């Protein structure tokens, strides 16, 4: 395993790590695909970064071949959960 320190055991950090491992790519490879440092990927996987900027989150989901909603909320998406924002279309 590439990251060190306390491991994240639930949430977004686990989904990122699981998806990366499923693809068989390293943190370094993922960081290059997303356009961030390896340290940033490590921080995401350790759960030290709670808010990933959208300019990185969507490329992250794309690189991991995961639906962004499922990556953020987990399997089943946001169904049954309170969304962070609501957009009304008139």
pLDDT in tens, 22-42: 999 999 999 999 999 999 999
How far apart CA 20 and CA 45 sit, in angstroms, is: 10
- Report the alpha-carbon distance of residue 73 to residue 57 in Å, rounded: 13
What dihedral angle (degrees, nearest 10) is formed by the CA atoms of 14, 20, 85, 37?
Answer: 100
Is a pLDDT exceeding 50 seen at residue 48? Answer: yes
CB distance 44 to 52 below 8 Å: yes
- The confidence score (pLDDT) of residue 6 equals 60
pTM assigned to the model:
0.76
């Amino acid at each position: 395993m590439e990251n060190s320190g306390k491991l994240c055991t639930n949430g977004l950090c686990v989904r990122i790590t699981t998806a990366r491992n499923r693809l068989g790519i390293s943190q370094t490879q993922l960081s290059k695909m997303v356009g961030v440092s390896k340290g940033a990927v490590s921080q995401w996987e350790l759960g030290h970064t709670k808010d990933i900027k959208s300019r990185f989150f969507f490329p992250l989901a794309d690189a991991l071949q995961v639906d962004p909603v499922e990556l953020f909320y987990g399997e089943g998406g946001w169904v049954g959960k309170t969304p962070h924002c609501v957009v009304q279309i008139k």
